[in-house]
Amino acid sequence: MLKIWGRTNSINVQKVMWCVAELGLPHERSDAGGAFGGLDTPEYKSKNPNSRIPTIDDNGTIVWESNTIVRYLAARYGAGKLWPVDAAQRSEADRWMDWQQTTIAPDMFPVFWGLVRTPPEKRDLAAIKAAGERLAASFALLDKHLSSREYVAGPELTMGDIPVGCAYWRYAKLDVPKPRLAACDAWHQRLQERPGFRQHVAMPLS
């Protein structure tokens, strides 16, 4: 049985849970991280030496790093569906996954933590504004890409939609100035029709 460690309000856990739902995999999830703690125990560190969530154990195959977990599950259980078999199409899914980690996540961090997990009197408004402006410019690039396709790697949902889809849910809910992102919003509506997205991603920010 696939085991997953991580609390449900972590974006990185949400990616994995949505992926698992898309693939219809039987699994057990254990709360870990945040108020649940448990990441510094020798037992958890033996699985994930970074003391971070998510981590999975798939019948003895232990994987950490959320996007790597999504790639692993998609390749193992969703080849030809979530995991494009064609290398060129797969590179398109891969690049938007890497883009979420390297371009979006560093700017999402100050905005999300600043507005959702920091009391108003302690917020660094200048840092939130600067990161918000960079996010607007970045998501405009995704909007241009999505203006000519239904999903990030073509006409069907792939693993490439999962990290950016989770990030866009948060971005859409954050109170920062945004450009008009009609293609992103239409894509996001399509994602919200998926039961796995609704169950694991579409929740209030906390």
Number of residues in contact with ligand GSH under rule CB under 6 A: 12
Distance, in Å, from the CA atom of 80 to the CA atom of 153, rounded to the nearest integer, reads: 12
Handedness of CA 57, 58, 62, 63 (dihedral sign): negative
Q: Which residue, among 174, 167, 156, has the nearest Cα to 11 in the 3D structure?
A: 167
Q: Which is nearer to ligand GSH, 66 or 138 (CB)?
A: 66
SS3 40: coil
Q: Is 110 in the site for ligand GSH (CB under 6 A)?
A: no
Q: Is 34 in the site for ligand GSH (CB under 6 A)?
A: yes
Minimal distance, residue 155 CB to ligand GSH, in Å: 27
Q: Which is nearer to ligand GSH, 65 or 185 (CB)?
A: 65
Window of 9-17, 72-80, 81-89, 137-145 that interacts with ligand GSH by CB under 6 A:
9-17
Window of 33-41, 111-119, 131-139, 197-205 that interacts with ligand GSH by CB under 6 A:
33-41
Q: Is 38 in the site for ligand GSH (CB under 6 A)?
A: no
Window of 10-18, 22-30, 81-89, 164-172 that interacts with ligand GSH by CB under 6 A:
10-18
Minimal distance, residue 13 CB to ligand GSH, in Å: 7
Handedness of CA 70, 38, 203, 193 (dihedral sign): positive
Q: What are the start-end ranges of the H helices in 63-202?
A: 66-77, 87-99, 105-116, 125-146, 161-173, 182-192, 195-200
Residues 78 and 153: beta-carbon distance below 8 Å: no
**Region 125-164 residues binding ligand GSH, contact defined as CB under 6 A:** none
Q: Is 97 in the site for ligand GSH (CB under 6 A)?
A: no
Beta-ladder partners of 29: 4
The closest residue (CB) to ligand GSH is: 33
Distance, in Å, from the CA atom of 13 to the CA atom of 196, rounded to the nearest integer, reads: 13
Residues near ligand GSH, by CB under 6 A: 10-12, 33-34, 39, 52-54, 65-67
